[in-house]
């Protein structure tokens, strides 16, 4: 039976919090094995929680992506909730003034551009500056902890959707990532990671026996996490990535795409572990709201063989080839920085390679030596 860091803390390590004023960075994913919210479990165990902090999507994990969230008060407990996704993304000295220990308990998705990674790094920096201990309650990497994919983030493209020298799929748990950040970025926080019991690196989330709690509106299912490392690239274009439907990041389309031709082209590429099926859909939010879109659904039939990053680039290449007069890469992001796809991939080379009609294999092949170097560094911080 797998026990998360939260369960291990409650079972064995509550002495770490005795007589301490405790802050908690969390959202609804912070639950015990039997789905009790961490706030309730900690308070019932006598922990003196004094403040809560919410990442992107808010403390409730209900706000849309890229939507600023205001600070407020938790109606049930009366605790202050400080938003870390609005004007402030890093805990301030004022927020930390009455805190002795900060807990971090969020279910990550194992992908660099999912912003909980940046929230973790900034929390480490803030706690180091205020000389507050940060305790990370470890949780599984839902897409396993063995496979790494994608280009390493180029320093000039660091943003809130890309923090630190990581590939897109970095193959670490949130606790291991905290150790990586703290050492490799020379943050030097007083960091403690409460490791899980019973988790092994090859496990996918649905093999853990734990219950998936949606980590954001766009991450409703464990199947979403498998496609996400590559299908999120659609965000950097004028295609719909399926937001406003029941299958975000598992479908792609636009009013001007021929889904049948697109499925035929992508299936002809014989990509490992995946098949594509023509669909029509009508988003009720985000791009093309209320418009009928043609496109494809990504059906992952062998997730061990499936490579999300390469698949995402193939999808972009095929959509661009079919409708070169309508397809566009977005020139900016909501951060007002370089093209959004560059921020997602961590390099301009992927976008430029697609524009110049280079093969996806040649684009992906450029990253192999960087990934080998990263893998050696990654192993210094593995706990399992």
Structural domain spans, the chain:
5-211+376-381, 222-347
CATH number of 5-211+376-381: 3.40.50.12170
- As a whole number of angstroms, the distance between CA 52 and CA 21 comes to 12
pLDDT at 49 over 90: yes
End-to-end, the C-alpha distance of the chain in Å comes to 15
pLDDT at 333 over 80: no
Q: What is the pLDDT of residues 216-262, one digit of tens each?
A: 999 999 999 999 999 999 999 999 999 999 999 999 999 999 999 99
pLDDT at 336 over 80: no
Query: Dihedral sign, CA of 216, 114, 383, 221?
Result: positive
- Torsion from C-alpha of 317, 318, 320, 326, nearest 10 degrees: -160
> Alpha helices, DSSP H only, in the chain?
5-12, 38-44, 93-96, 116-130, 174-184, 222-231, 259-268, 308-322, 340-345, 349-355, 360-365, 368-378
Mean pLDDT within 38-49:
98
Closest among 6, 35, 1 to 211, alpha carbons compared: 35
The set of residues, in sequence order, having a beta carbon less than 8 Å from that of 374 and lying 6+ positions away, is 148, 152, 165, 166, 167, 170
Domain 222-347 indexed as CATH 3.90.1150.140: yes
- As a whole number of angstroms, the distance between CA 22 and CA 99 comes to 6
- Kindly report the pTM of this predicted structure: 0.96
The set of residues, in sequence order, having a beta carbon less than 8 Å from that of 113 and lying 6+ positions away, is 161, 162, 168, 232, 343, 344
Question: Is the separation of the CB atoms in 92 and 58 below 8 Å?
Answer: no
Q: What is the pLDDT of residues 127-156, one digit of tens each?
A: 999 999 999 999 999 999 999 999 999 999
Cα 312 to the center of its chain, rounded Å: 16
pLDDT at 300: 98
In this structure, are strands 21-26 and 101-105 parallel, antiparallel, or unpaired? Answer: parallel
pLDDT tier, 332 (very low <50, low <70, confident <90, very high otherwise)? confident
Residue 59 is encoded by which pair of tokens? 């403390």
């Amino acid at each position: 039976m797998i026990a998360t860091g939260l369960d291990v803390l409650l079972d064995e390590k509550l002495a770490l919090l005795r007589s301490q004023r405790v802050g908690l960075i969390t959202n609804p994913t912070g639950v015990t094995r039997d789905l009790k919210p961490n706030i309730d479990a900690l308070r019932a165990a006598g922990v003196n929680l004094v403040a809560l902090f919410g990442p992107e999507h808010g403390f409730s994990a209900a706000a849309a992506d890229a939507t600023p969230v205001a600070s407020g008060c938790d109606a049930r407990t009366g605790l202050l909730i400080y938003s870390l996704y609005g004007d402030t993304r890093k805990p301030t000295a004022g927020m930390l003034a009455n805190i002795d220990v900060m807990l971090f308990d969020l279910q990550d998705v194992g992908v660099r551009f999912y912003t909980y990674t940046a929230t973790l790094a900034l929390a480490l920096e803030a706690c180091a500056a205020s000389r507050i201990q940060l305790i990370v309650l470890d949780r599984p990497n839902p897409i396993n902890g063995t496979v790494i994919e994608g280009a390493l983030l180029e320093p000039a493209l660091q943003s809130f959707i890309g923090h630190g020298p990581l590939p897109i799929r970095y193959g670490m748990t949130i606790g291991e990532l905290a150790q990586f950040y703290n050492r490799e970025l020379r943050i030097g926080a007083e960091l403690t990671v409460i490791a899980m019991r019973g988790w092994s690196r090859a496990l996918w989330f649905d093999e853990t026996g734990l219950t998936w709690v949606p980590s954001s509106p766009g991450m409703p299912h464990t199947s979403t996490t498998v496609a996400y490392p590559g299908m999120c690239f659609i965000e950097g274009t004028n295609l719909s990535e399926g937001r406003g439907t029941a299958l975000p990041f598992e479908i792609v389309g636009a009013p001007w795409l021929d889904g049948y031709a697109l499925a035929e082209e992508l299936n002809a590429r014989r990509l490992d572990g995946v098949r594509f099926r023509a669909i029509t859909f009508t988003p009720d939010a985000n791009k093309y709201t209320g418009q009928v879109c043609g496109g494809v659904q990504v059906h992952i039939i062998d997730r061990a063989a499936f490579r999300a990053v390469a698949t995402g680039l193939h999808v972009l290449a095929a959509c661009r080839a079919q409708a070169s007069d309508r397809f566009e890469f977005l020139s900016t992001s909501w951060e007002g920085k370089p093209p959004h796809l560059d921020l997602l991939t961590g390099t301009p080379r992927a976008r430029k390679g697609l524009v110049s009609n280079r093969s996806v294999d040649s684009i992906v092949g450029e990253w192999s030596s960087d990934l080998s170097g990263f893998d050696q560094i990654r192993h210094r911080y593995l706990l399992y």
